[in-house]
A = this chain, B = another copy of it.
Amino acid sequence: MMAVDVAGDSERQLGTLQSGILYGVSVGPGDPELIAIKGVRILQQADVVAYPSGRDGEPGLAERIVAPWLQPKQIRLPLYFSFARVPDIQQQAWTAASDCVWEHLKSGRSVAFACEGDAGFYGTFAYLSQTLRLRYPEARIEVVPGVISPIAAAAALGIPLVARDRKLAVLPALYAVGELEQALDWADAVVLLKVSSSYVQVWDILQSRDLLASSWVVVRATQPGQEILADLRDRRDLKLPYFSLLVVQTRSPIGLHTSQ
Interfacial residues, chain A to chain B (CB-CB below 8 A): 24, 26, 28, 31-38, 40-41, 91, 94, 118-123, 125-127, 129-131, 134, 141-148, 151-152, 154-155, 158-175, 179, 182-183, 186-187, 222, 254-256
Q: Tell me which of A35, A41, A120 has the highest count of chain B C-beta atoms within 10 A of its own C-beta.
A: A120
- Collect the chain B residues with CB atoms within 8 Å of residue A168's CB: 168-170
In contact, A161 and B37 (Cβ under 8 angstroms)? no
A134-B256 contact, Cβ under 8 Å, with A145-B152, A151-B145: yes
- Collect the chain B residues with CB atoms within 8 Å of residue A172's CB: 162, 164-167
- Collect the chain B residues with CB atoms within 8 Å of residue A144's CB: 155
Chain A contact surface mostly: mixed
In contact, A155 and B143 (Cβ under 8 angstroms)? yes
Other A-B pairs beyond A130-B256, A143-B155, 7, CB < 8 Å: A26-B155, A121-B151, A130-B255, A165-B172, A167-B172, A169-B170, A170-B170
Chain B's closest residue to A94 (CB) is: B256
What is the minimal beta-carbon distance from A131 to any residue of chain B, in angstroms? 6
In contact, A28 and B33 (Cβ under 8 angstroms)? no
A169-B186 contact, Cβ under 8 Å, with A35-B36, A158-B143: yes
Q: Tell me which of A129, A131, A165, A254 has the highest count of chain B C-beta atoms within 10 A of its own C-beta.
A: A165
- Collect the chain B residues with CB atoms within 8 Å of residue A174's CB: 164-165
CA distance A146 to B179 in the complex (A): 28
A158-B145 contact, Cβ under 8 Å, with A91-B256, A169-B167, A256-B91: no
A-B contact pairs, 6 of them (CB 8 A): A33-B36, A91-B256, A130-B254, A145-B152, A168-B169, A182-B186
CA distance A179 to B33 in the complex (A): 37
What is the minimal beta-carbon distance from A182 to any residue of chain B, in angstroms? 5
Which of B143, B152, B167, B222 has a CB less than 8 Å from the CB of A179? Answer: B167
- Collect the chain B residues with CB atoms within 8 Å of residue A154's CB: 120-121, 143, 145
